[in-house]
């Protein structure tokens, strides 16, 4: 009985060895007698190609979606015009981002200035360059001449200010909101005239390249015992609170320290950019510092022309 068992095992081992050698030989030989991948490597490559490992999978209702844009829920949300509904239809902020970064969301245009997810930088001007948002709204607390914001952004800023005040930090006021193309001509020209071309480009966007023109950007000041200036905002308790909590109200600090090589701008702790609560949550949870990184876009430290 034992002898038969050993024989059986031996035959099995020999058979496996022969099959392995045959597979290895067929994978190794090729034109010119060059060596290639082993049979085990070839099998692994076929079973799990590198691309399948690298691309994030987007799920809708627990089902992996090859093309989220083809889903009825996404199409309906896009047709309705509601940005929050679109992100929700993708499965939330993290899933939305994953689809965009993977190139799996052709229906999402990061250049659409009417959308919360638009990316405007020195390499991505507004289209059209004279774009103006609608409808507008005025936050409850503004500094003289601050301008307006997109209506939904204005409401979100009121919520952020109320939360800061309720937490003992003091209210937060809008110091600069929407700027038209013509207004940005004056703002940019003034910076260049005062500081020169290079520094002007680091401090202010050229006309048609400004987030303020979308109505989604808010320069804010602290109003604890009187409103301060934007330049002092980063050193106030309100500045620290905003850096930690703005995401809960749909905002990110757009230009943070250490990211000038990516954004092309000096740090601006007062410059808040609205992207909606779902995307801001994914941005915060993922530890991102710029929208360029968040959406897998190239750095934009300088204008292309």
Domain ranges of the chain: 55-101, 136-284
Q: What dihedral do alpha carbons 130, 83, 278, 138 form, nearest 10°? A: 60
Q: Could you count the other beta carbons within 10 Å of the beta carbon of residue 151?
A: 15
Q: Which strands form 268-274's sheet, in the order they lie side by side? A: 171-176, 217-223, 268-274, 251-255
Which residues pair with residue 217 across a beta bridge? 273
Predicted confidence (pLDDT) at residue 157 exceeds the cutoff of 60: yes
pTM: 0.79
pLDDT tens string 169-204: 999 999 999 999 999 999 999 999 999 999 999 889
Model pLDDT, residue 65: 52
pLDDT value at 96 more than 60: yes
Return mean pLDDT, the chain: 83
Q: What is the pLDDT of residues 139-153, one digit of tens each?
A: 999 998 898 999 999
Q: How many whole angstroms separate alpha carbon 109 and alpha carbon 12?
A: 59
Quote the CA–CA distance of 184 and 214 in Å, as a whole number.
Answer: 12
Q: Is domain 136-284 classified as CATH 2.102.10.10?
A: no
Nearest CA to 116 among 233, 260, 269, 251? 251
162 pLDDT band, cuts 50/70/90, is: very high
Check pLDDT > 60 for residue 123: yes
**Which region, left, alpha or beta, applies to residue 139 given φ > 0 means left and ψ of -120 to 50 means alpha?**
beta
pLDDT digits (tens, 9 = 90+) for 10-47: 434 343 343 333 334 333 333 333 323 333 332 222 22
Confidence bin at 66 (pLDDT 50/70/90): low
Q: Distance between CA atoms of 143 and 174, rounded to whole angstroms?
A: 6
Q: Dig out the tokens for 217 from the structure.
A: 């950007």
């Amino acid at each position: 009985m034992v002898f038969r068992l050993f024989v059986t095992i031996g035959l099995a081992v020999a058979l496996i060895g022969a099959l392995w050698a045959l597979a290895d030989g067929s994978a190794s030989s090729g034109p010119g007698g060059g060596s290639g991948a082993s049979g085990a490597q070839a099998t692994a490559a076929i079973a799990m190609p590198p691309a399948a490992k690298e691309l994030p999978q987007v799920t809708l209702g627990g089902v992996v979606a090859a093309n989220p844009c083809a889903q009825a829920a996404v199409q309906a949300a896009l047709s309705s015009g509601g940005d929050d509904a679109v992100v929700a239809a993708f499965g939330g902020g993290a899933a939305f981002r994953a689809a965009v970064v993977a190139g799996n969301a052709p229906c999402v245009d990061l250049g659409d200035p009417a959308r919360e997810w638009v990316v405007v930088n020195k390499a991505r001007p507004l289209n059209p360059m004279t774009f103006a948002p609608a409808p507008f709204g005025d936050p409850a607390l503004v500094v003289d001449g601050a301008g307006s914001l997109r209506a939904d952004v204005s409401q979100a800023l009121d919520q952020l200010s109320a939360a800061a005040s309720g937490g003992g930090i003091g209210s937060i006021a809008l110091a600069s909101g929407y700027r038209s193309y013509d207004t940005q001509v004056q703002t940019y020209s003034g910076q260049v005239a005062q500081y020169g071309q290079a520094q002007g480009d680091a401090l202010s966007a050229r006309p048609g390249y400004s987030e303020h023109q979308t109505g989604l950007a808010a320069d804010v000041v602290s109003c604890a015992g009187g409103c301060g200036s934007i330049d002092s905002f980063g050193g106030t308790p309100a500045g620290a609170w905003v850096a930690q909590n703005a995401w809960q109200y749909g905002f990110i600090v757009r230009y943070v320290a250490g990211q000038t090589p990516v954004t092309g701008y000096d740090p601006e702790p007062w410059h808040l950019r609205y992207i909606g609560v779902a995307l801001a949550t994914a941005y915060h949870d993922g530890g991102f510092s710029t929208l360029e990184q968040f959406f897998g876009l190239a750095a934009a430290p300088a204008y292309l022309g």
